[in-house]
Amino acid sequence: MILSDIRTYLQQHRRVALRDLMTHFDIDAQTLRGMLEKWIRKGQLQKLPMTASCGTQCCQCDPTLTELYEWLN
């Protein structure tokens, strides 16, 4: 099942950008956010505060690159 695959990926990598999950599982951002919300509600995953950029001055980062999730268990 895809949810358990995503959970395993998160447990192995601990901190993951949404873009990495999208690429690895070939799923769009909105679908993934819905799936990730399950573990956020259970307290096993947290969405880290989004930054406006990756740290450079160009301010042209794709938001999915700076949207990070961290597995807590």
19 SS3 class: helix
- Tokens representing 8 are 């395993």
Domains of the chain listed by start with CATH number: 2-71 (1.10.10)
- 57 has a pLDDT exceeding 70: no
The tens digit of pLDDT for each residue in 26-45 reads 999 999 999 999 999 999 99
Angle at 41 between CA 37 and CA 46, to 5 degrees: 70
The model's pTM is 0.79
Q: Can you list the positions of beta strands (E) in 1-73?
A: 15-17, 45-47, 68-71
